[in-house]
C-alpha cells in the first residue's frame, strides 16, 4: 500500500504543470518507483492536469552515465513503427533535440549527473 507520499506526488504534478519536466532521483530502495507508480501516474491518469487530459504515454528508463542517450533510446523504443533502417537517424534527431541549448537543459543534465554521484533527492 502507498501512504504518506501524497504531498510529494502533488509537488511532482505541480512541476509537470509548470515545466513539463520532473526528475525523480534517489538511492536504491528509497521509494522512487512507488512514488511514481502509486502516486504520480494515478494522478496523471485521473486527470489532475485538466489541460493535458488523462491519456498519457509513459516511458521509463535508467539515466546511467549517459542520461540523454538513454532517454533518446527509450523514446525511440516507444515508437515501434520506425524501421530498423531509420533507427540511427531518428535516435540522432531525438538526441539533438534533447541536447539543444534550451533554458534549463544544461542545468537539468548537470542535476541528473550530480544526483547520480551524490544521491541527492529532488
Domain with 30, as residue range(s), is: 1-58
- The residues near 105 (Cβ < 8 Å, ≥ 6 apart) are 98, 99
Q: In whole angstroms, give the CA distance from residue 60 to residue 74.
A: 7
How many domains does the structure of the chain reveal? 2
> Does residue 116 sit within a domain?
no
Same domain, 64 and 105: yes
Considering the domain architecture, whether residues 48 and 68 belong to the same structural domain is answered as no
Alpha carbon dihedral 87, 65, 100, 91, in 10-degree steps, equals: 0
pLDDT at 118 over 50: no
The pLDDT value recorded for residue 35 is 92
> In this predicted model, what pLDDT tens digit does every residue of 15-26 receive, in sequence order?
888 887 788 888
Query: Which residue has cell 502533488?
Result: 10
75 and 26 in a common domain: no
CA 121 – CA 119 distance, rounded (Å): 6
Q: Could you report the per-residue pLDDT of 59-115, keeping only the tens digit for each?
A: 888 888 888 888 888 888 887 777 777 777 877 887 888 777 555 555 555 544 544
15 and 49 share a domain? yes
The pLDDT value recorded for residue 66 is 86
* Residue 120: inside a domain: no
40 and 8 share one domain: yes
Amino acid at each position: 500500500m502507498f501512504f504518506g507520499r501524497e504531498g510529494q506526488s502533488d509537488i511532482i504534478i505541480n512541476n509537470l504543470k509548470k515545466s513539463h519536466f520532473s526528475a525523480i532521483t534517489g538511492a536504491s530502495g528509497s521509494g522512487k518507483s512507488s512514488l511514481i507508480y502509486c502516486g504520480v501516474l494515478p494522478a496523471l491518469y485521473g486527470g489532475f492536469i485538466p489541460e493535458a487530459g488523462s491519456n498519457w504515454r509513459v516511458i521509463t528508463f535508467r539515466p546511467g552515465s549517459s542520461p540523454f542517450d538513454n532517454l533518446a533510446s527509450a523514446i525511440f523504443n516507444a515508437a515501434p513503427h520506425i524501421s530498423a533502417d531509420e533507427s540511427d537517424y531518428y535516435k540522432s534527431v531525438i538526441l539533438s533535440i534533447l541536447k539543444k541549448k534550451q533554458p534549463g537543459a544544461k542545468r537539468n543534465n548537470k542535476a541528473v549527473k550530480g544526483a547520480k554521484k551524490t544521491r541527492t533527492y529532488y
